[in-house]
Amino acid sequence: MNKTLVVSALSAALLLAGCQSVNTTSGGAVGVERKQYMFSMLSSQEVDQMYAQSYQKTVGEATTAGVLDKTSTDAKRIQAIANRLIAQAPNFRPDSAQWKWEVNLIKSDELNANCGPGGKIIFYTGLIDSLKLTDDEIAAVMGHEIAHALREHGREAMSKAYGMEMAKQGAGALFGLGKDRLALADTVANYGMTLPNSRSNENEADLIGLELAARAGYNPNAAITLWNKMSKASEGSPPEFMSTHPASTSRIASLQAAIPKVMPLYEKAPKS
């Protein structure tokens, strides 16, 4: 057999052995049950730590620039909505009750929001102001982002990035991984964290986010008005959020189909 093929086959075999099948969350009323494959030498704790460092850098830079908003009405809205959603996260993932959740609002025209691994949430005022978001619509955005963190979509993307990097470096990289693991993590972190999510990951975040919002007492129908606003905003120069969260008729149709599943949860939930 060709030497290159032998190395490639060995790399593939070792990569397969290095992956573990997990299901990061329970299915919930919306039924998200897909098995995920994570690189076993890339732990949840390691990913959380890497992202926490990046998050603190962003918050620190915003503080220095005088754009970190802790006192406005919107800052208080964001914190209150986050508190209600975070309280529901253990329904999907019990260990999230021990996460070190953080919520920050940054004054910027940027139309963006995210929740990174370990529960690190950032909202930008541009998203709220430009789209004139209601509390229910903010909850739809935030629930979606929290769902990405609960499902560890960032770690999943990084696991794939590890595999691609190792395939390029060959089997030798795998044997030396113990020593160079953190260096390789630095190489793939930005790649794994900044790529647009796959269609299946986006659908999972939509569904889990919908249920989180409903359980927290926010009207799930707001997800439809939210994405209609997003679609309209992307007609000109697409906002940053839309580069990784493209709106589509299929997305809205999937949400509409799931709303009857979560409406009973919303009807039973306290509304404040």
What pLDDT is attached to residue 123? 97
List, in sequence order, every beta strand (DSSP E) within the chain: 19-22, 36-39, 68-69, 102-106, 113-116, 120-124
- Residue 19 β-bridge partners: 39
68-69 and 36-39: which strand pairing?
Answer: unpaired
Q: Count CA atoms closer than 13 A to 1's CA, side-chain side.
A: 8
What pLDDT is attached to residue 122? 96
- Mean pLDDT, contiguous 10-residue spans, the chain (272 residues): 38 53 93 88 85 91 98 98 98 97 97 93 96 98 97 85 62 48 49 60 95 98 94 66 65 94 97 80
Nearest C-alpha neighbor of 213 from the set 145, 151, 133, 139 = 139
What pLDDT is attached to residue 160? 75
Whole-angstrom Cα distance, residue 181 to residue 174?
Answer: 9
* Catalytic hit among 137, 145, 152, 202: 145
Nearest C-alpha neighbor of 105 from the set 147, 73, 146 = 73
Whole-angstrom Cα distance, residue 14 to residue 212?
Answer: 38
Respond yes or no: is residue 152 known to be catalytic: no
Asked if 262 and 251 count as a contact pair (C-beta separation under 8 A), the reply is: no
CA angle (122 as vertex; 118, 128 as ends), nearest 5 = 145
Residue given tokens 């969350």 in the structure block: 25
What pLDDT is attached to residue 262? 98
